[in-house]
Structure 1
Amino acid sequence: MKKKQASTILAIVTALAVLAGCGGGSTATGSQNGEAPAGGEQAKGPVSISIMANLHTPEVPSDKIEKIIEEKTNTNLEIQWVPDGTYDEKVNASLATGTLPQVTYLKNAASLVNMRDAIRNGQFWEIGPLLDQYPNLSRLKPDVLKNTAVDGKIYALYREVPLSRQGIIYRKDWADKLGLGTPTTIDEFYNMLKQFKENDPDGNGKDDTIPLTDRNDLIYGAFKTISSWFGTPNNWGEKDGKLAPEFMFPEYMETMKFFKKLHQEGLINQDFPVTSKTDQQNLLITGKAGVYIGAMGDVSSLHPKVVEVNPNAELDVQNKIEGGPNGFGIWSVPGYGSVILFPKTAIKSEEELKDVLAFMDQLMSTELGNLIYWGIEGEHHKIEDGKVIPSEDTKLTDREVKPYQAMQVGGPLTVEGFLEAKHILPVKAKSEELIVKNNDYLIEDPSAALDSKTFNEKGVQLQEMIKDGTYQFMLGDIDEAGFQAVIDNWLKSGGQQIIDEYNASYEASK
């Protein structure tokens, strides 16, 4: 298990979980706080910048924030807002026709993997050697940039996400009634589930409680988080000096056995392999279930719904459940949600590239970084005690602010002076504190910056074998020998090639 110490300031990270701004920077050829333009260039007239951004809302936003960005950066912007459902398709079609804009945001980490061959073929600018020329871009985290690298070279900027938001949300009022404290070990967690099942925590006199509510997602549901408690590597781990997939480690088998036990004893919803996230959450909201495992920040949306059903309900959160051989650890993401590439078909020269990077640098300034994320003070949020309280008019912020968050460069950890959200709900504030504490116990994915041609071509298909086999074992349909047969089939169908290619890439990266 690889752990990473982090002395991150809570005031920075809490802002990642909420919605709503501030205003201004300088010119596209300058930098914040009146510093000289990158490379010593003189200020120019307005620079035209074309952008493709992912639209996560039903409507294209108003151009109110866009106009402020143009004014502060001395640019003319042409933003293509592409709906999330067709975003990858649009990017791929534009790549094929040579019509990508100068600033191309990719949808997610998987989209970057699919773009690696085009990057290797020289279709995008390498920007790593230039980043030190820009005061804000140079604040991006080297470890995260490394995770975006292709063959060790940096081609992308990134939009930041918390490294690990995982933990449990549970009915504290139920735990209090049964004399249970906050669980800190796997045994205590299991005992809580057992007590919720057997001792009528809701007081209705019926044996109808579902202790743990889960869904059909081995990553963002309960499975991967609990596997971290057992000490399972994050996607890939090192065994005898070589990388191997997580499901070839004994801790993965221990996790499956634990879930099988929960299923057999009725401590988890029996149909969890086919339960949607909405249905999973509804079991907690309606008081049928007492424990939810996932992003701890979900407590802010779950709490009002839970107390609407039962005004006496109380939720609490916990992150640190120990049980593995090396103590507590929690799986982490590579540190970015999406990346930004710069196509050579749209940017013809290094001089033009520097103009574009100067604009991106301004998006990371204190003023514009907050504007893009929070919107305009007095319209989309207010400031109280130096912290942001978003407007309660979520339709307004969804329409005018949320779309622009997809254009964020960096985030709370890297934008100097990024404003913190003021959480009115105490359990939400606690969840953000625990998300920060997770940074001290990260289990990182050693394959994040590695490459495998076979994985790119067949990885999704092959992973379905493992997913199906994992569920079959947890439901009692196959035993350990049956799961080994699944692994053997995975190896013969291309998995061994993936192992060999990742290890070759791993050795080359050392």
Structure 2
Amino acid sequence: MWKKIALTAISAALLCGTLAGCSSDSDSMQYTADGKPIISIMTAAYQPESASDNAAENPVMAYVEDKMGVDLRISWIPSSNYNEKVTATMGAGTYPLIMKVGDRSSAIIANCRGGTFWEVGDRMLDAEKFPNLAKANQEVMHNMSVDGKVYGVYLSRDLGRNGISIREDWLEAVGLDYPETLDDLREVCKRFTENDPDGNGKSDTYGMIITSYTGPIDNITVWAGAPNRYGYNPETDQIEPAFMFPQYLEGIKFIKDLYDNGYMNTNFATMDAEKWNEPFLNGQAGVIIDVADRARRLQQNIVALNPDAKVGVFGSVAKREGVDRRVLPTTGYNGFYVFPKESVKTEEELDMCLKVLDQFEDPDIGMALQYGLEGINYTIEDGVYKHVKIEGTEEDDTTNNIYYADLNQLMTFISGNDMPVEIPYASEAAERVDEVIEENIAYTVPDPSAPYVSNTYSLKGTMLDAIMSEATTKFITGDITEEQWKSEIERWRAQGGDDVIAEYTEQWKADASAQEDPMSAATALE
């Protein structure tokens, strides 16, 4: 029953972009009694309770609206089911003026192609009208395009965001420095398992925590020399998936070795990513491969359980001595804001919506959206931000944090994140996170397929991904052999994978910018 309902919703969303009359209760540009444009926005919420958009109740919203000269109406949708809400919205054809979409799903692609959303690629780069949005990264815009056209304003995400969180105090306890190669990382995991890093005299620790989320596998295979998702294979003259390169197998063999020796958790295949931090915080394990910023959160939370614990962070490791390390980058964006033609009727109205997103990037408005207001949420001492404290203590008073909860989700961060005052780091780990993200950029491995759309993958991607994800998990756990794993690649190809390869390759070869240096797509490390 559920599958039937889900397919119906998706089908409606796909059709709505190409059939007229699929709408009618969408918002349209309206004005308040005093002439302010009413701007409706639908975006994701991550806090238990999000800030009210009622300026009469929320001084931060009152400040922002006054500075911008608009009346903001925000629909907060829980992030856990945000994509489903977007699909339902497109199916019903009832749109706000500005809507965040999470990714280039088949429904989003169909609606872009069908004319549901405004194309904004050239318009948003007008520096006179939109000085902040005009700073957009051209490569990221290319990556998020559909058939070479840009249908939204991307929410910037650091390219070098991935990293490794590690118990630095455990490293010291077992006599090791930060690992620099895969062999070094294996030795760290070995000693965290066998050398009693917490000094309690018990054999109750292990090295690395991996969950059912594939991120750690994606990172490790890139470190081992595999492409990032897809790479150019000069022998076949095609863009092929990473798992078709021998370096990918080397990477998962590294993970299998950790698994076989007990240097990582044996329940990784079923472990919920929501519980990823628990073994780390509880002192059971000491390595997590995820976004570098996880180290900041781990340090913040672990001190309550173990005041002596110290969390470190670094970017990646090299395959071996003598070669540069490699970093799995993000796409450079985390969703994008679209402007439905059903609600945004004219180019003038489109400019007004773009101006709103541009103004969110202004330092004074950005400060309010992220930190609230001076005197209510923070004070400034010698030019440095300081969160208000509970009277007589050094503990943050979070009573009024609700005034800006989730408001940072309105920002694209395209122009960076320059604040009018200095924001001090909460810990050494937090400061190191920013350094790691910056250092990583020089070592990122691009995905040459990122700008292109495979129609086959749009329709069959979930099924195709499951084939190789399940095969890789079973190989690591020893449930299938190397030859059986390789046979799953052939099944992937037969089920539609060869069509995906052909579609990506055709578009890549037709892309003049890509063909200026085609070997740049040959990202596998020899």
Q: TM-score when scaled to structure 1?
A: 0.85
Cα distance between partner residues in 1 of 2:74 and 2:198: 52
| Correspondence for 2:370 among 373, 396, 400 | 373
Please tell me whether residue 404 in structure 1 is matched to residue 407 in structure 2. Answer: yes
TM-fit CA distance, 1:443: 1.3
1:123 aligned onto 2:116? yes
Equivalent positions of 1:268-417 (< 5 A) are 268-323=264-319, 327-384=324-381, 386-390=383-387, 392-394=396-398, 396-397=400-401, 399-411=402-414, 413-414=415-416, 417=419
Mapped to 2, the partners of 1:193 and 1:128 lie a distance apart of 47
Q: For the Cα contact (< 8 Å) 2:49–2:405, is it kept in 1?
A: no
- Give the aligned CA root-mean-square deviation in angstroms: 2.3
What CA distance in whole angstroms lies between the structure 1 residues aligned with 2:44 and 2:301?
29
Which piece of structure 1 moves more, 285-294 or 63-72?
63-72
Instruction: Check the 8 A contact 1:140/1:410 in 2, yes or no.
Output: no
CA distance in 2, matches of 1:394, 1:441: 39
1:436 aligns to what?
438
| CA offset digits 1:12-69 (Å, max 9, x no partner) | xxxxxxxxxxxxxxxxxxxxxxxxxxxxxxxx94223222222223334223233322
* Distance of aligned partners of 1:196 and 1:251 in 2 relative to their CA distance in 1, 3 Å threshold: same
Q: Which residue does the alignment assign to 2:451?
A: 449
**Larger RCO of the pair (alpha carbons < 8 Å, separation 6+):** 1
Residue identity opposite 2:378 in structure 1: H
Distance 2:350 2:265 in 1: 53
Give the gaps of 5 or more residues in structure 1.
1-43
- C-alpha spacing 1:50/1:177, structure 2 compared with 1 (3 Å): closer
Residues 252 and 476, structure 2, Cα contact 8 Å, conserved in 1: yes
Q: Which residue of 2 aligns with 1:152?
A: 148
How far has the Cα of 1:245 moved from its partner? 0.6
1:357-415 CA deviation, whole Å, 9 max, x = no partner? 22222222222222222222332334456454456345643x3223212211234x535
How many angstroms apart in 2 are the aligned matches of 1:461 and 1:390?
Answer: 48
Asked if the contact 1:136/1:415 (under 8 Å) is kept, the reply is: no
Question: Identity of aligned pairs, percent?
Answer: 32
Corresponding residue for 1:73?
Answer: 68
Mapping for residues 458-497 of structure 1, pairs under 5 Å? 458-497=460-499
Taking the aligned partners of 2:117 and 2:482, their CA distance within structure 1 comes to 47
Distance 1:218 1:436, change over 3 A: same
Cα distance, 1:137 vs structure 2:
1.6
Question: Equivalent residue of 1:54, what SS?
Answer: strand
2:173 matched residue in structure 1: 177
SS at match of 1:469: helix
Q: Does 1:89 align with 2:84?
A: yes
In the alignment, the residues of structure 2 paired with residue 340 and residue 419 of structure 1 have an alpha-carbon distance, to the nearest angstrom, of 28
Deviations 1:177-214 (A, max 9, x none): 22211111111111122222222222222333212222
Query: Are the equivalent residues in 1 in contact too, given 2:121–2:151 (CA < 8 A)?
Result: yes
Say how many residue pairs are matched.
461
Q: CA deviation at 1:156?
A: 0.8
Cα offset, 1:418, TM superposition: 6.8
Map Cα deviations across residues 101-152 of structure 1 (whole Å, 9 max, x no partner). Answer: 111111x2245x5311111111111112222142222112222222221111
Indicate how the Cα distance of structure 1 residues 257 and 86 shifts in structure 2: closer, same or farther if over 3 A, else same: closer
2:107 alignment partner, one of 105, 111, 114? 114
Q: Which TM-score applies when normalising by structure 2?
A: 0.82
1:152 to 1:56, Cα distance in 2 relative to 1, 3 A: same
**Any conservation in 1 of the 2:231–2:448 contact (CA below 8 Å)?**
yes
Aligned residue type for 1:161: R
The equivalent residue for 1:251 is 247
TM-fit CA distance, 1:311:
3.1
Shift of 1:454: 1.0
For the residues of structure 2 that align with 1:385 and 1:320, how far apart are their CA atoms? 37
What SS is found at the alignment partner of 2:178?
coil
Residue 164 of structure 2 contacts residue 316 of structure 2 at CA under 8 Å; is this kept in 1? no
What amino acid sits opposite 2:46 in the alignment? H
What corresponds to 1:26 in structure 2?
none
Counterpart CA distance in 1 for 2:502 and 2:61 is: 47
Amino acid at match of 2:217: F
Separation (CA, whole Å) in 2 of partners of 1:263 and 1:226: 14
Write the deviation string for residues 433-472 of structure 1: whole angstroms up to 9, x where unpaired: 1111111111122222210111111101110111100011
Report whether the alignment pairs 1:59 with 2:49: yes
Q: 2:161 touches 2:330 (CA, 8 Å); kept in 1?
A: no
Mapped contact 1:246–1:252 kept (Cα < 8 A): yes
CA distance in 1 between counterparts of 2:229 and 2:110 reads 22
CA gap of 1:176–1:140, structure 2 versus 1, over 3 A, is: same
Rounded to whole Å, the distance in 2 between the matches of 1:87 and 1:184 is 39
Identify the residue that residue 223 of structure 1 maps to in structure 2. Answer: 217
1:382/1:145 Cα in 2 relative to 1: closer, same or farther (>3 Å)? farther
